[in-house]
Amino acid sequence: MSKTETLYGLHAVQAILQSAPHRVLSLLVLQGRADQRLQAVRQLAEANGIAVQEAARKKMDALAGDANHQGVIAQARPGQSHTEAYLYELLDALEEPPFLLVLDGVTDPHNLGACMRSADAAGVHAVIAPKDNAAGLNPTARKVACGAAEVVPFIPVTNLARTLEKLKERGIWLKGAAGEASDTIYSADLCGPLALVMGAEGAGLRRLTRETCDSLVKIPMAGTVSSLNVSVATGICLFEAVRQRSQGR
């Protein structure tokens, strides 16, 4: 495992400075940039005794791989790596019905980051994904997540189908999103202990994942487009669940 992580973007860097400043080793800010948002990040770092260094754009672009770093890059110790055991500890400690998001093989880090952001906004307790053949929380995913990756537990698991079976044993209902489902997200009951299971870009849910779900739901589509981007679909499904859970359906 790498000894350091590179985080870039105003939201991602501000989030780690607020939630885990002890992890941040140093902060690079763009030379000559002094706008209010960057100054707030800089002051937060300095208040936590973190070294701040100005750097030329060329150096920062190289560190961020030409991604949009928004003038700020942090070098940090790796965050806590959550295991499947942590997931069950988290579930045991909850005093409310579990609300989980499962991503079945999402490979695009931009989509993963956007799903993490929606999960945080919806109050999801944890995001679960396969360890292999799926995107992990790399710097791109963390930047797109706008800080959500620092606060929402992301739990990669070795065998997703086995994990889903264990969730079912704990009384958690698995609702898989699939275009051919007969029930819509609006007619399905999304209250109580719930794990929303979203498929990969294009391919959707894998066969074994689909068969493990208790039921399938779909987003009704009125136009000519047959499917939505997985991060958009995730946001829609999560917030329909939020609406139902807040109103008791």
What is the pLDDT at residue 175? 97
What φ, ψ does residue 148 adopt, rounded to 5°? -65, -30
Query: How sure is the predictor about 166, in pLDDT bands with cuts at 50, 70 and 90?
Result: very high
How buried is residue 138: exposed, middle or buried, by Cβ count under 10 Å (0-12/13-18/19+)?
Answer: middle
Known binding residue 105? Answer is no
Known binding residue 228? Answer is yes
Whole-prediction pTM: 0.83
What is the pLDDT at residue 249? 67
pLDDT in tens, 12-69: 888 889 888 888 999 999 988 878 888 889 889 989 999 899 999 999 988 888 778 8
**How many angstroms separate the CA atoms of 227 and 107, rounded?**
17
Has residue 225 got a pLDDT over 80?
Answer: no
Domains of the chain, residue spans: 5-76, 84-247
Instruction: Select 5-76's CATH number: 3.30.1330.30, 3.30.200.20, 3.60.110.10, 3.90.1150.30.
Output: 3.30.1330.30
Residue 139 near residue 5, CB atoms below 8 Å: yes
pLDDT in tens, 87-116: 999 999 999 999 999 999 899 999 999 999
What is the pLDDT at residue 115? 96
Radius of gyration of the CA atoms of the chain, in A? 19
Mean pLDDT score of the chain: 90
**How many angstroms separate the CA atoms of 88 and 242, rounded?**
22
What is the pLDDT at residue 81? 72
What is the pLDDT at residue 2? 56
Instruction: Select 84-247's CATH number: 3.30.1540.10, 3.40.1280.10, 3.50.50.60, 3.40.640.10.
Output: 3.40.1280.10
What is the signed CA dihedral for 14, 18, 23, 26, rounded to 10 degrees?
A: 40
Cα–Cα–Cα angle for 229, 234, 235, rounded to 5 degrees: 105
